Amino acid sequence: MALWKEPTQNEQSEKTDEAQPTPAAVSPIPPRRESSPKDRQESAYGHHQESVFGPGVTIEGKIEGDADVRIAGKFKGDVHIKGILNIEKGAHLTAKINAETVTIGGELEGNVVANAEVKLLESGQVIGDLKAKILTVAAGSRMRGNVEFGWTDSDSAKLTSVRSQEKAKTGSGV
């Protein structure tokens, strides 16, 4: 039993008389263009990936990486990223932080070193030391600790050198 029907000679000649459809022109797929910063949400430091830890999340450990991190829950440990750290209002952190930029809207107990900027928002609360090139403090925020900002690495080195010289003079009885 055949599953198909063989065309007869008359049917074959009818098919050749019909106009054959021309195949549609197929254009090659254009190469994928790199997306521009306008096409994606990108931070001022070139990062566009962000990890988010929501309000119901509690984490203990170490966060490391090149991307941005947003914490809205609870975290205890160390954060060492090359991107932006956003601590949302309502977040509770007990952490040692090192990041490019840190925005604090929640509660943080621990020290912060930012290579660029620390922003302490109105809802932000810090118990610990802050070190950054730029510090922005909103009215209503709270902090208990030491702050160092506006110093370049060479300024800090000069200050340390002057202080050690002063200590040497006073230590020698002069």
pLDDT tens sequence across 69-86: 999 999 999 999 999 999
Give yes or no for a contact between 120 and 126, defined as CB atoms under 8 angstroms apart.
Answer: yes
Spatial separation of the C-alpha atoms in residues 75 and 1, rounded to whole Å: 73
Band (pLDDT 50/70/90 cuts) for residue 3 is: low
Q: Does 39 have pLDDT greater than 70?
A: no
Residue 4: Cβ-neighbour burial (10 angstroms; 0-12, 13-18, 19+): exposed
Which residues, 6+ apart, have CB-to-CB distance to 138 below 8 Å?
119, 120, 121, 122, 124
Identify the pLDDT of residue 50: 87
Q: What is the mean pLDDT of the chain?
A: 79
pLDDT at 31 over 50: no
Whole-number Å distance between alpha carbons of 133 and 113:
9
